[in-house]
Structure 1
Amino acid sequence: MALHLVRHGQSEWNVAGRVQGQSPRAGGLTALGREQAAAVRVNGTAIVTSDLPRARETASIIARRLGLPVLVEAGLREQRLGALEGRRFADVQPVIDGLWADPRRPPPGGGESIADLHRRVHRALARLAARHPREELIVVTHGGPVRVATTAADPVLGEAVPRDAVGNATVITVHPGAPV
């Protein structure tokens, strides 16, 4: 089995420099984001996406090219960032970086810790692996879920997770059950 993790294309709030998280105000893709999604070159047997609009739109564009249906998995959503959502990223970057360094600490305002995000995303990926054994899935999601799906660190144990850059429309392939 292979999972092709795809981060959504550029969104309106990426351009505005705003923290998106799960905010319903984050908007959809920009024209460039739609172009990025159309340029994704990955093949699979099914497409599964986060239920957030920017990921769903990316998945729909890829699905049209491949002639595949799109399945929705809410467990692939971006981290819930509480009071940080909608704020200018530059103003809160030290707080966000601190969440990745101390992964059991939740963000201000009732958000989700990196450890919680890790548990949620890994449960969702395990469900997908069980439902689609021996398939190649295209999984359209967000930067946070891609980071926790590909890290060798264990944030549940308090290990810091590197906040590596994950560009829009980046594809990273993982093999569940294989060493990271």
Structure 2
Amino acid sequence: MTDVTITPAVLHLVRHGESTWNLAGRIQGQSPEAGGLTAAGRAQARLTADLLAERPARPAAIVASDLIRARETAEIIASVLDMPLEFDPELREQQLGVLEGHRLDAPFADDPTAQHAVDRLWREPFRRPDGGESIADMYDRIHRALRRHAESRPGAEVVLVTHGGPVRMASAPQAPTPGVAVPRVGVDNASVTSITMN
């Protein structure tokens, strides 16, 4: 009997380029009103596409969140790599419900600013904003999507174009625990975070 070694998939998570609501300081979440890329965001996406094109291994697929800012970023990458593009709604940003559309520096409910309300979600990872999902919900959704893409293409490299929250969840060392804050690490626009799925 021969042992079969399965090479793990490598997932390259790309955060979308700068969007119009990034620039305006508005909370995007999954709002259908959140805008697409700025001119700077399109330039960032092209630079990232060029970097991915220089990698020795060609990706087996490019899969993107269907939200417009991620879709536009992925379209630029797919054009440079001359590859088809797939969409996966499970790669969307955290659904933030009533927070979506608010300026980060504006007062919100009982919080001094909407930014404080967002920060509280990371300190209390099982807290859900009205009409939205918790950090723990997002963790489960994103890890379900990552496993699915890795298992469907074992040993391959896959580009996943997504958002800051999902990239943070993909990089988290463990699932959220009640009462324990989740670090909210910085994720730059159009940055690439590579993870190996064992």
Match of 2:139 in 1: 118
* 1:129-140 correspondence runs (5 A): 129-140=150-161
What do the CA deviations read for 1:91-146 (whole angstroms, capped 9, x no partner)?
31111111011100001x22100000000000111111111111100110000000
Match of 2:122 in 1: 100
SS at match of 2:77: helix
Q: TM-score, normalised by structure 1?
A: 0.94
Match of 1:37 in 2: 45
Match of 1:162 in 2: 183
Equivalent of residue 92 in structure 2, options 74, 77, 100: 77
- Larger Rg: 1 or 2? 2
- Unaligned stretches of 5+ residues in structure 2: 1-8, 106-112
The one-letter code of the counterpart of 1:76 is: L
Asked if the contact 1:84–1:92 (Cα under 8 Å) also holds between the matched residues in 2, the reply is yes
| RMSD (CA atoms) | 1.1
Asked if the contact 2:124–2:178 (Cα under 8 Å) also holds between the matched residues in 1, the reply is no
Asked if the contact 1:153–1:161 (Cα under 8 Å) also holds between the matched residues in 2, the reply is no
Q: How many residues align?
A: 176
Residues of 1 paired with 2:146 and 2:89: CA distance? 11
Match of 1:128 in 2: 149
- Give structure 1 regions of 4+ aligned residues with deviation exceeding 4 angstroms: none
What do the CA deviations read for 1:33-68 (whole angstroms, capped 9, x no partner)?
000000001252210100101001100000100011
Q: Does 1:86 align with 2:108?
A: no
- Unaligned stretches of 5+ residues in structure 1: none
SS at match of 2:74: helix
Q: Once the two structures are aligned, what percentage of the paired residues are identical?
A: 55
SS at match of 1:88: coil
